[in-house]
Amino acid sequence: MDKIDIGAPRAGDRRDRFFARSIGTRFEAKTEGGGTIIDLYDEIGYWGTNARSFRSRLKEANGDITLRINSPGGDVFDGIAIYNDLLAYEGKVKVEVVGLAASIASIIAMAGDEITIADNAMFMIHNAWTIGVGNRHDFADVSSTLSKIDDALARTYAARTTTGIRAIKQMMDDETWLTAKEAKDAGFATSVGSAADAKAKFDLSVFASVPDALKWSEETGEETPTKRDLERALTQDAGWSRSKARAAMRVIENNDDPAKQDAGEHVDLTALAEAVRAVSAKFQKEDK
């Protein structure tokens, strides 16, 4: 497999959240049986798991890595960096797609020496996107950059699979969603595993051809939000900075209720409201 080499955006460029709603997201690493298991159940990029966070976990990893993926994708440059860092890892990398590997998350999956996809999981590839403002010359430059990115991604898929690059590019043009069997038959996975219970769910409405089984419903969104969900709500909906939102989360974490000590546990909304009031008062005082 080849390392992907694409010019990244300038330092300080804004990274926006692609997926407006999600539940059960997490990014964790743990040592087990002489190796390291990494759960990447998150959007890729600023609002989820970025390349810097992933690299820090890799530096702490011991032995071979099992990377479990359930991700809708996200920022292409963060995803490319994660893919390249996995290629550079000295140990063996086994990828398990346990729910969804879509968009740039499917490129990350290509870094595995072995790639297993759960029988009920899905795999999706498509062309790179962006949002731009400018004149026709600016958009011509943007189009050229997107073309280069698409070519690099297509070459990566083609080198790892049994599918030719022309067919890959057509699949990317069509936004192709693959079942586990289809992904294995096309060479995107080396084996199909047993069905898995997806630990995270995402609103995938930004995509054009989402299968009905993966579409977000109101019932999906009825689950009680986690601390991660609430932190995102504060930054996205309330307009708080990340440091301000995390200060609110720390107030909750200092609560005596042990059920609130784990970032994956559900949070009492009353406690959140009290935390928001406390942190708001603190920042208002500091602003004066």
**What are the pLDDT digits (tens) for 194-229?**
988 877 788 888 888 888 888 877 555 544 455 666
Task: In whole angstroms, give the CA distance from residue 19 to residue 201.
Answer: 11
Q: Do 126 and 158 belong together in one domain?
A: yes
Q: Do 149 and 238 belong together in one domain?
A: no
**What are the pLDDT digits (tens) for 147-194?**
999 999 999 999 999 899 999 999 999 999 999 999 999 999 999 999
- 144 vs 264, more confident: 144
| Domain final residue pick, 205, 222, 239 | 222
**Structure confidence at residue 22 (pLDDT):** 75
What region does 175 belong to: left with phi over 0, alpha with psi -120 to 50, or beta? left
| Tokens 């057509």, residue located | 170
pLDDT at 264 over 50: no
Q: Do 62 and 124 belong together in one domain?
A: yes
**What are the pLDDT digits (tens) for 118-158?**
999 999 999 998 888 899 999 999 999 999 999 999 999 99
Determine, yes or no, domain membership for 16: no
**What are the pLDDT digits (tens) for 241-261?**
777 777 776 666 665 455 444
In contact, 181 and 162? CB cutoff 8 Å: no
Phi/psi of residue 106, each to 5°? -70, -30
Q: What is the average pLDDT across 33-55?
A: 93
The whole domain housing 217 covers: 22-222
Cα torsion through 159, 181, 192, 112, rounded to 10: 20
Active site residues: 103, 126
Q: Do 29 and 129 belong together in one domain?
A: yes
Q: Which tokens belong to 176?
A: 């192709």
Q: Do 171 and 92 belong together in one domain?
A: yes
Q: Do 60 and 138 belong together in one domain?
A: yes
Q: Do 245 and 190 belong together in one domain?
A: no
> What CATH number is given to the structural domain containing 88?
3.90.226.10
Q: Do 187 and 248 belong together in one domain?
A: no
Confidence of residue 6 (pLDDT cuts 50, 70, 90): low
Determine, yes or no, domain membership for 269: yes
Cα torsion through 171, 49, 152, 84, rounded to 10: -130
Q: pTM for the complete prediction? A: 0.71
| Domain final residue pick, 207, 222, 237 | 222
